[in-house]
Structure 1
Amino acid sequence: MKPYLAAAIQMTSVPDLEKNLIQAEELIDLAVRRGAELVSLPENFSFMGEEKDKIAQAEAIAQKSEKFLKTMAQRFQITILGGGFPVPLDNGRVYNTALLIDPNGVELACYQKVHLFDVDLPDGNTYRESSTVMAGTRIPPIYPSKELGNLGLSVCYDVRFPELYRHLSQMGAEVIFVPAAFTAYTGKDHWQVLLQARAIENTCYIIAPAQTGRHYAMRHSHGHAMIVDPWGVILADAGGDRPGVAVAEIDPQRLEQVRRQMPSLQHRVFI
């Protein structure tokens, strides 16, 4: 693992696939011009709309999203994470799928979101992700990269389940992605503290690309795409108002220093 720059992209995706991919490409270009070698896109980067529209267009969204990720990786010679898009199943539902792609356009890792957001919020909004999404059944993978470190995958609501991240750390994760479309209501209180908690308790870097702003009707996301270091320090924050990019250095020496000073992973009793 070497020192390198990573980017967490912040988008305002809408119910328009082509428009979203144009926005994503512009932000990827910005991240690369700022020196990023590892670029991550948020959950629902390619489509953020009503559930019925997502299902109706799922096949096209899945095909174009995967092709887009591979094209961007090759064009910009980066490793890229597509943080979540629908991949259709035979039963009329989809997997919320994250893909990690290398600079040659080769798939390195695939994760199907396991924790689905079925919540009634006090602001009056109700979310039933399970109405259209099948929960994944496999533990998130770790991809071991000599250049970028051991990369772990997760998606959005997963961040509330610390046992998932403990598993990733036990498997050797050094950098963990948390691509999200966190609601504005929950995000203002929980987003930052949850990311910092996952970084601190697993002494790892957290890269959290995010959705921001109003997408359609009542759907409004919190924003604040960020990168957090193993001590819980926020290295970069894209803010909460508009699309942008959070870029920060992933430093193996910093990782080693924190794990040496606070060797909590070695002190686990209940494993």
Structure 2
Amino acid sequence: LPEIWTGPYATVAFASSAEPCPAVGATSADVAPDAPSVAILFSLAAETQTTLIGGSVAERGEDGRLYNTCLVVSAEGVLLAKHRKAHLFDVDVPGGISFKESDTLSPGDAVTVADLGPPLGKVGVGICYDVRFPEIAAAMVAAGAKVLVYPGAFNMTTGPAHWELLARGRANDGQCYVAMASPARREEGGAE
């Protein structure tokens, strides 16, 4: 799933769509009633008997702050990992886009590696703009990750120029596989 798959990727929408996310080790019984997207991830993982790397959702943290969070839910319905986007995307391209995640979101502060067991083993998780920082990828590989996963929502200004280049760069740096997901787009731009 892509970054913020639950609705429009707009900083003004994060507060109204934010949900509480349980702690690592939680099961579906621990999902809050006001967290429908989180409940869907647990339900889909169990229904399909598949470990699910759940894109990302707007999370309302225990501290009241908002985070962009990716959940990794096992086929057994256990939360294996929770990654909060560490590097927030702030950009102002003259004649292009202006977007500042840090006006709304708080950054995470951890490197996230989930052990998915055989055959994949350890998988590192980042979110979108995190892919631009080789240090976080190197830390995931040093922790044993053989695959790095980055749910994203690259925009139509930076995406075409950087998406594949950054994925190849992280794969080359870490001598590992890199998987990325982004929302569908119309040919003329904008999300489907």
| TM category, shorter | 0.7 to 0.9
Give the unaligned 5+ runs of structure 1.
1-40, 222-241, 243-271
Aligned equivalent of 2:14: 54
Contact 2:72/2:114 (8 A) holds in 1: no
Deviation at 1:209, TM superposition (A): 1.0
The DSSP-based 3-state class of the residue aligned with 2:185 is strand
1:213-256 Cα offsets, whole Å, 9 max, x none, are 26xxxx836xxxxxxxxxxxxxxxxxxxx7xxxxxxxxxxxxxx
TM-score, normalisation: structure 2: 0.84
Partner of 1:69: 41
- Residue equivalent to 1:120: 92
Partners of 1:108 and 1:89 in 2: CA distance: 18
* Cα distance, 1:90 vs structure 2: 6.1
Q: Contact 1:145–1:151 (CA<8 Å) still a contact in 2?
A: no
RMSD value, Cα: 2.2
Residue 142 of structure 1: how far off its partner (Å): 3.8
Aligned partner letter, 1:50: A
Alpha-carbon spacing, 1:106–1:142, altered in 2? closer, same or farther (3 Å): closer
Whole-Å separation in 2 of the counterparts to 1:97 and 1:77? 22
Equivalent-residue separation in structure 2 for 1:60 and 1:99 (angstroms): 12
Q: Which amino acid aligns with 2:190?
A: H
Structure 2 counterpart of 1:210 = 182
Partners of 2:20 and 2:61 within 8 A in 1: no
Larger radius of gyration: 1
Give the distance between the partners of 1:104 and 1:142, measured in 2 at CA: 14
* C-alpha displacement of 1:60: 8.1
Query: Which structure features the higher share of helix residues?
Result: 1
Matched, 1:220 2:190: yes
- Counterpart residue identity of residue 8, structure 2: M
Q: Deviations over 1:127-182 (max 9, x none)?
A: 11011111011222342523322111100001110111011111111011011000
User: Could you tell me which residue of structure 2 aligns to residue 197 of structure 1?
Assistant: 169
Cα distance in 1, alignment partners of residues 17 and 41 from structure 2: 18
Aligned length, in residue pairs? 178
Shift of 1:212: 3.0
Instruction: Report the CA distance shift for 1:142/1:92 in structure 2 as closer, same or farther (over 3 A).
Output: closer
1:1-271 matches, cutoff 5 A: 41-59=1-19, 63-89=35-61, 93-143=65-115, 145-213=117-185, 220=190
Distance 2:62 2:114 in 1: 28
Q: How high is the sequence identity, in percent, across the aligned residues?
A: 35
Distance 1:98 1:128, change over 3 A: same
- Larger RCO: 1 or 2 (CA < 8 Å, sep 6+): 1
Q: Distance in 2 between matches of 1:148 and 1:56?
A: 36
Distance 2:143 2:62 in 1: 32
Cα separation, 2, equivalents of 1:124 and 1:147: 43
1:45 corresponds to which letter in structure 2? W
Amino acid at match of 1:206: V
Superposition TM-score, scaled by structure 1 size: 0.61
